[in-house]
Structure formats: C-alpha cells, structure tokens
Amino acid sequence: MRLDLLSTLNAERAARRAAVLVTELETGAQRLVKAADIAADPLHEALADALRMGRSTQIHFEGSAYFLTIQVPPVRLIAIGAVHITQALAPMAKLAGFDMTIIDPRTAFATPERFPDVKVLAEWPDDVLPALRLDRYTAVGLFTHDPKIDDQALIAALRADCFYIGALGSRKTHAKRVERMEAAGFAQEQLARIHAPIGLDIGSVTPSEIAVSVVGEIISALRKKPKRSEAGA
C-alpha cells in the first residue's frame, strides 16, 4: 500500500470513520474511498453493501475484478440506565461484538458488581457523553424511565449521527417524550429516528426477552439494507 493511502487510512481509523481500500486485481492499482465519498464513486453500490456488512470482499464491475478491503470502527452500544434489562443485555451485546458502556448517575445501580466486564460510568449523561463522541457506529439505548436522565442522552444522540436510537416505554410514554423533544427544537424527521418502544416486536416480557429484542433491532439497523425511500432520506 502506498504511504499516502496508509496515512489517510490510519487517520480515518483514529477518527472512527469507515473507509474502503479498493484494489484492482489485474493492475494492482489502489485507491482509498472514505465513507463520506462513497456516493460519488463508480462502485458506490458495492462499496455501500460491503461497508454495511463490515466484511472485505471481491467484486466484479464492468469486466474488472476488485478487492474491497473494509475498515469499519468497532460498533459501540451506549446504554443509559443500569437496570435489570441492561444486566441481561450486557452479555448478549458482548456476544454480538458490541463495545458496551453503561451510564447511570444512580450509584446504587451503576456498580461493577452488577455489571462485571462492562464499562460502567456512574455519571450524568451530559457530563460524559461529549467525551465519548457519539458517531455513525454508535447505538444508544435509553432504559431508565426517568426523563431527567434519559432526555439528556436522547438530545445528544439526536444531534449525533448514531445509527440506532432506542427508548424503553409505552407508546403513551413515548408520545410525551416526543413532545419534550419538539419543545427542545427537534423536527419530526429527527424524532422518527427513535425506535420506541425499544426492541423488535416479538412479544417480549422479561428483561432477558427484551434484551434479545433490543440486540436484534440494533443488528437490523446496522446490517439491513435500507429501502429506497429511506436511503434517499
């Protein structure tokens, strides 16, 4: 790999931005395509599909073969609320390959004993989220049922480019949440990004079942190809 390409690739990696190294197999010619530039590339459909799946692959385009070397940041899950659901969610998130962090200012709940092998921050979301730098490869789940805690994180997630935002609570609870976010200046298109009630509709009842539905919904948001209307938006 050319030194300039390696330098750019390392810079994108450090900034938690995705990129694709495109190698034409016949000639060995290489170019680096940043995630932000994919739409303008002749291979844009194949590049977008490979990034979405997070896997390097070989493709053919107009009679030529290319190898796509994919670089994507580790997927993060920021869970707001050290509750029973997140206790069940933590080991499942690890199995799914998510880098999970739990945030809850309630020190009686946010303890290492309740969440072994998981990063736990017993802080208010608005104090710690700026340093975490939410991005396109971050999912945010809200679990406390307390607007004083959840809303801080929700505002930060809506302002960021998080690929998934989910919130626990009934439809009535979510309607009130939407009203608060509208009062905070968010438009309906932004609020439509929130998955609420959180998780796939599989009839889940127990904390473990809800955790399964949440992991499934996050994976769907990360991997599933968007519809034409969603992609255009």
Lowest mean pLDDT across 82-91, 209-218, 224-233: 224-233
Q: Which of 52, 71, 90 is the last residue of a domain?
A: 71
The reply to whether 230 falls in a domain is: no
- pLDDT over 90 percentage in the chain: 93
One-letter identity of residue 58: Q
Q: What is the CATH number of the domain that holds 151?
A: 3.40.50.720
* Domains: count for the chain: 2
Tell me, yes or no, whether 139 and 59 share the same domain. no
Tell me, yes or no, whether 80 and 166 share the same domain. yes
Q: Which of 71, 97, 131 is the last residue of a domain?
A: 71
- pLDDT over 70 percentage in the chain: 97
DSSP string, the chain: --HHHHHHHHHHHHTT--EEEEEETTT--EEEEEGGGGGGSTTHHHHHHHHHHT--EEEEETTEEEEEEEE-PPPEEEEE--SHHHHHHHHHHHHTT-EEEEE-S-TTTS-TTTSTTSEEE-S-HHHHHHHH---TTEEEEE-S--HHHHHHHHHHHHHTT-SEEEE-S-HHHHHHHHHHHHHTT--HHHHTTEESS-S-SS---SHHHHHHHHHHHHHHHHHSPPPHHHHH-
Tell me, yes or no, whether 169 and 63 share the same domain. no
The reply to whether 229 falls in a domain is: no
For residue 23, pLDDT over 80 is answered with yes
119-173 per-position pLDDT tens digit: 999 999 999 999 999 999 999 999 999 999 999 999 999 999 899 999 999 999 9
Q: Residue 96: give the domain boundaries.
A: 76-223
Return the closest-CA partner of residue 94 out of 79, 109, 83, 80.
Answer: 79
Tell me, yes or no, whether 181 and 94 share the same domain. yes
pLDDT band at 228 (very low <50, low <70, confident <90, very high): low
170-215 per-position pLDDT tens digit: 999 999 999 999 999 999 999 999 999 999 999 999 999 999 999 9
34-39, long-range: CB < 8 A, 24+ apart: 34/8, 35/136
pTM to 2 decimal places: 0.89
Q: What was the pLDDT predicted at 233?
A: 46
Tell me, yes or no, whether 63 and 90 share the same domain. no
Q: How far is the C-alpha of 171 from the C-alpha of 184, rounded, in Å?
A: 20
Tell me, yes or no, whether 93 and 164 share the same domain. yes
Lowest mean pLDDT across 3-12, 161-170, 199-208, 224-233: 224-233
Q: Which of 71, 99, 118 is the last residue of a domain?
A: 71
